[in-house]
Amino acid sequence: MSRIGKKVIEIPKGVEVKVTDEIVSVKGPKGELTTAVHPKIVYAIEDGSVTVNRVDETREARAQHGLRRTLLFNSVEGVTKGFSKTLEVIGVGYKVSVQAKSVVLNVGYSHPVDFPLPAGIEAKAEGIKLTISGIDKQLVGEVAAQIRRVRPPEPFKGKGIKYENEQIRRKAGKSGGKK
């Protein structure tokens, strides 16, 4: 039995969960999210909580049990609190700024890199830190990863774009091995 799938999802005040044949819709103070329904998974809403159960004990149903519960939990948490990821831009002359619905990165290329933000994602730049926030956990993580790919941190000086809590493995340079 899935340990994650067995957990009950509490529905906070102001959040509305609707289950149809094809989607689960979660509406809250920050917005609305939908999650696809799998035919082997059944959702039961009662007394301000949602339980996720599987129809049978097949391999596919067991695989989907924890996944569908986690996706629904992330939707509930997203419409109440939201999600955010913080990136740091490290390097001499490296800058980040937010203009309208795009992030402008000056990270050592001959031109500034303009990264347009998708709908539902907000960005805030403070010095070397860039905070990406939104209600969809998957989209926030994907946008942060795409921005990091513009200039990933390099192992010698550590210059580049990294996550706030990321540890960069540093290497010794050419002169590091000589006596």
142: Cβ contacts below 8 Å, ≥ 6 apart:
none
Sorting pLDDT into bands at 50, 70 and 90, what band is 125?
very high
Mean pLDDT for all residues in the chain:
92
Asked if residue 176 has pLDDT above 80, the reply is no
Q: What is the DSSP string of 36-51?
A: EPPTTEEEEEETTEEE
Note the pTM of the prediction, 2 decimals: 0.89
Domain 3-80, classified CATH 3.40.50.970, yes or no: no
Q: What's the fold here for domain 83-163?
A: Outer Surface Protein A; domain 3 (3.90.930)
Q: What are phi and psi of 167, to 5 degrees?
A: -100, 125
For the segment 136-164, what is each residue's pLDDT rounded down to a tens digit?
Answer: 999 999 999 999 999 999 999 989 999 99
Domain-by-domain residue ranges, the chain? 3-80, 83-163
For the segment 35-58, what is each residue's pLDDT rounded down to a tens digit?
Answer: 999 999 999 999 899 999 999 999
Asked if residue 99 has pLDDT above 90, the reply is yes
